[in-house]
Amino acid sequence: MEILPFVYLAYMFVSFYLLILILLLYFKNKKVLFNAPEFKKFYSISVLIPAYNEERTIADTIKAVSEIDYPQNKIEIIAINDGSKDSTIKVLKNIKNKYKNLKIFDKPNSGKADSLNQALKMCNGELVVVLDADSYPSKNCFKNMIGFFDNPEVGAATATCTPRNRNTFLEKLQVIEYKVIAFTRKLLEFIDSIYVVPGTAGMYRKKALLEIGGFDKRNITEDIEATWHLAKDGWKIRMCLAAHVNTEVPNTLKPWYRQRRRWSLGGLQCINKYKSFIFKNGMFGYFIIPFFSIGLVLGLMGIAIALYIIARRGMSSFLLTRYSLETGVPLVTLNNFYLTPSILNYFGIILFALFFIFTLFVLAVMKDRLLEKQSFFNLLFYMAIYLLIYPFVLITSMWHYVRGKNIWR
Amino acid sequence: MSGVKISGDKKMELKNKHVFWEALILAIFIFASGIFLGYLIELNRTSQIITIYQQSELDLLDAKIQNDILNIGNINCELAKQEAIDFANKVYENSQLLERYEGASKITEGMVLQHKKYDLLRTLLWSSSIKIKDKCDDNLNTIVYFYEYDPQVIETKSKQAVFSKKLLEVKNQLPENILLIPLAGNLDINSIDYLKKVYNVTVLPTILINENIRVENMDQLKYLENMFSN
């Protein structure tokens, strides 16, 4: 008996299991999926907006925060210019007088995590919102999230992030991706397993952030690290699908690749940092770390199997061509066109079909108007090509990680 | 204050407390059903092969009886030769289907057994063809193709694919004069192992032509047609 079919079946089983887990969570909780928690009071909120070379977008971000449906006297906006080389600081100074609650914190470049930590010391809100300088919260965003913090166990909450720019092919693919991520993240909330409060828009209890010592400067995805740290210490993380934040997403492959590599690298750093907590500290050790690690192993295993098969087929085709030319036999005969699928082929097709239906289902549940606009080709490309690029990103990330290149760019 | 009342954390915890086990049980159930279905598909393919094999077995028996009847008087060489070639062609077609099903067989081992049975049937055909040639001194050519079953080395696999194509080409050129008998040389079948020793077949794949010429490499394969044109 060959080993490969069993490895393949194990791979399929884990994928089936995770899909069923997500679907079960959905059916058990679908009535409350889009609910926003009732809140007892308007918390004072400090909105921290770290900016490095964001002259193009920061003014709109601050404008979006100022237009939020929330008592403006309860909001403090701190725009942090992290030593930008463009005219970010100039833009900020120009708009300063328009917003009474806007504070500008101009500092030499020291990275996002350090900028946030410094700003954390000077902010006054009970809650801290970390907002990327190219993200735009919806009007009801804060109101829909603050109710979570009535529960003193909640340390952080996040919202539905969706791409603002939706024109190019790559952007449209990211719309599908962000919707699927938001949907699954919300479902993971029901088992206390949200593994990231994305830097795009995260609301934190200031006390919780201070308790964990702020953001880890050594981790290039400070948002993942902070979420893991909070979860490890027993803080609950929540998500509101009814709160929206639009964000700029990469519109060309190069920045897209860099962003994904950074995410993967940050994930690897987190696994390494918290590996000793596996099967400890509740859902953090029993689900978040294994879930992340299994994702990593599945990705690597998938690519290893695929490369092995491709290499064997390639070598076989090469030799077959060479021998055929040497002996003058035809390269292709009718027999080559007979297809007799094996059980593994059937499993693969069924799994692909299930994930395809799942993606369609998610887009429908998320009431995405783009569902009509998204062509069948986009969805197919997303499933068959886009998702397959991830394991390659993972490999390059691992390579960078091993070489110690844990840098932003 | 606005907003819809959300279910309490405790309520949420209770509702989702067993979700991991539920998902595991469901996944095992669905997965096991899939495996079982795959097993049934493979079993069905095996039973198809068994039915075809039984028919082939009957055909061979029929041919042998006809020969025996004919042997009471003088052997009808033309008829015996035709029977052998027709039978070989039929078994060859069946073996193509068997090969495809074997390639797709991942969880059951039934196909290997069928393969062995087919190889024995073909060995029987070969020995029968030797007798026909002895008695008839006819222009019947036998090509016995010893190949490796389920080769793991890519080079062997590619080589065998080319050998097979070449043999089919030669067979198609002289359909009435060539008896093509492929035999797996690594399935631990005693009679085949014995024949390999007798005809000094030491490497796989090897083509044995008329029980005396061995073709083991690409250079010889190139001139395979010439061996029959003389």
List own/partner pairs for B8-11 with CB under 8 A and 24 or more apart: B9/A151, B9/A153, B9/A236
Which one, of B97, B95, B60, lies nearest residue B80 by Cα? Answer: B60
B106 and B89, same domain (yes or no): yes
Average pLDDT for chain B: 80
Q: What is the CATH number of the domain that holds B165?
A: 3.40.30.10
Query: How many domains is chain A built from?
Result: 1
Residue B182, SS3 per DSSP: strand
Buried-state track A23-55, b at ≥16 Cβ within 10 A, e below 16: bbbbebbeebbbbbbebeebbbbbbbbbbbbbb
The residue of chain A with its CA nearest to that of B222 is A327
Distances (CA, A) of A206 to A121, A124, A129, A201: 10, 9, 9, 15
* pLDDT higher than 90, residue A161: yes
Which of A36, A147, A323 lies at the smallest CB-CB distance from B158? A323
Q: Write out the E strands in A142-294.
A: 154-163, 201-205, 236-247
Q: What is the CATH number of the domain that holds A254?
A: 3.90.550.10
B26 contacts in A (CB within 8 Å)? 20, 24
**Distance between B44 CA and the closest CA of chain A, angstroms:** 13
B156 and B104, same domain (yes or no): no
The residue of chain A with its CA nearest to that of B220 is A327
Interface with B, mutate which of A323, A335, A339 (most B CBs under 10 A): A323
Residue A383, SS3 per DSSP: helix
Which one, of B199, B55, B225, lies nearest residue B127 by Cα? Answer: B199
A153 close to B (CB below 8 A): yes
Which of B1, B106, B158 lies at the smallest CB-CB distance from A319? B158
Distances (CA, A) of A235 to A160, A212, A264, B18, B229: 20, 10, 24, 21, 86
d(CA B195, CA A282): 67
pLDDT bucket at B3, cuts 50 / 70 / 90: very low
Residue A139, in any domain of the structure: yes
* pLDDT higher than 70, residue A408: no
Query: What pLDDT does residue B180 have?
Result: 87
* pLDDT higher than 60, residue B5: no
DSSP letters of A46-57? EEEEEESS-TTT
Query: What domain range includes position B65?
Result: 8-137
Which one, of A116, A98, A139, A144, lies nearest residue A48 by Cα? Answer: A116
Residue B42, in any domain of the structure: yes
Query: What does pTM read for this prediction?
Result: 0.80
Number of Cβ atoms within 10 Å of the Cβ of A291: 16
If contacts are CB pairs under 8 Å, which of residues 285-314 in chain A contact chain B?
312
Which of A5, A39, A144 lies at the smallest CB-CB distance from B106? A5
If contacts are CB pairs under 8 Å, which of residues 341-360 in chain A contact chain B?
341-347, 350
* pLDDT higher than 60, residue A77: yes
Residue A346, in any domain of the structure: no
Which of B1, B39, B158 lies at the smallest CB-CB distance from A39? B1
Q: How many helices (H) and strands (E) does chain B have?
A: 8, 4
Query: What domain range includes position A258?
Result: 34-267
Which of B3, B37, B221 lies at the smallest CB-CB distance from A39? B3
d(CA B213, CA B218): 15
Query: What pLDDT does residue A212 have?
Result: 96
Which of B4, B31, B39 lies at the smallest CB-CB distance from A16? B31
Q: What is the mean pLDDT of residues B55-66?
A: 73
List the single range of A96-105, A193-202, B113-122 with lowest mean pLDDT.
B113-122
If contacts are CB pairs under 8 Å, which of residues 324-343 in chain A contact chain B?
324, 326-330, 333, 335, 338, 340-343
Residue A133, in any domain of the structure: yes
| Cβ-defined contact of B3 to A36 (cutoff 8 Å) | yes
Q: Angle at which helices A222-232 and A112-122 pack, to 10 degrees?
A: 60
| Cβ-defined contact of A38 to B101 (cutoff 8 Å) | no
Domain edge (last residue) among B75, B110, B137: B137
A198 close to B (CB below 8 A): no
Domain edge (last residue) among B100, B121, B137: B137
Q: What percent of chain A has pLDDT over 90?
A: 62
List the single range of A76-85, A141-150, B42-51 with lowest mean pLDDT.
B42-51
**Alpha helices (runs of H) in A190-221, residue ranges in sequence order:** 206-211
* pLDDT higher than 70, residue B192: yes
The residue of chain B with its CA nearest to that of A39 is B1
Average pLDDT for chain A: 89
Q: pLDDT tens digits for B152-179?
A: 888 888 888 888 888 888 888 877 778 8
The residue of chain A with its CA nearest to that of B166 is A329
Which of B6, B37, B103 lies at the smallest CB-CB distance from A35? B6
Domain edge (last residue) among B109, B137, B165: B137
Q: pLDDT tens digits for A343-402?
A: 888 888 888 899 889 988 888 888 755 455 667 888 889 988 898 888 888 888 888 888
Q: What is the mean pLDDT of residues B121-125?
A: 85
The residue of chain A with its CA nearest to that of B100 is A340
* pLDDT higher than 70, residue A337: no
Q: A206 vs A362, which has greater pLDDT?
A: A206
| Cβ-defined contact of A316 to B100 (cutoff 8 Å) | no
Q: pLDDT tens digits for A348-360?
A: 888 889 988 998 8
> Could you give the ipTM of this predicted complex?
0.82
HSE of A273 in the Cβ direction (CA atoms, 13 Å)? 20
Supply B10's token pair.
Answer: 């405790």
Residue A180, in any domain of the structure: yes
Residue A224, in any domain of the structure: yes
**Distance between B191 CA and the closest CA of chain A, angstroms:** 25
Which of A329, A340, A347 lies at the smallest CB-CB distance from B169? A329
Query: What pLDDT does residue B16 have?
Result: 80
B59 and B18, same domain (yes or no): yes
Query: What pLDDT does residue A405 have?
Result: 62
Q: A225 vs A377, which has greater pLDDT?
A: A225
B29 and B104, same domain (yes or no): yes
Q: What is the mean pLDDT of residues A4-28?
A: 89
* pLDDT higher than 60, residue A137: yes
B99 and B213, same domain (yes or no): no
Supply A206's token pair.
Answer: 């200031």
d(CA A251, CA A171): 6
| Cβ-defined contact of B16 to A328 (cutoff 8 Å) | no
Interface with B, mutate which of A340, A344, A346, A351 (most B CBs under 10 A): A340
Residue A328, in any domain of the structure: no
* pLDDT higher than 60, residue B230: no
Residue A333, in any domain of the structure: no
A15 close to B (CB below 8 A): no
Please enumerate in sequence order all residues whose Cβ is within 8 A of that of A149, keeping only pairs 6 or more positions apart, or say none.
A39, A43, A126, A127, A157, A203, A205
Placement of tokens 């066109």 in the chain: A337
B2 contacts in A (CB within 8 Å)? 143
B168 contacts in A (CB within 8 Å)? 333
B169 contacts in A (CB within 8 Å)? 329-330
B127 and B202, same domain (yes or no): no
| Cβ-defined contact of B222 to A328 (cutoff 8 Å) | yes
pLDDT bucket at A331, cuts 50 / 70 / 90: confident
A36 contacts in B (CB within 8 Å)? 3-4, 6
Supply A31's token pair.
Answer: 């009535």
* pLDDT higher than 50, residue A409: no
Query: What pLDDT does residue A389 have?
Result: 86
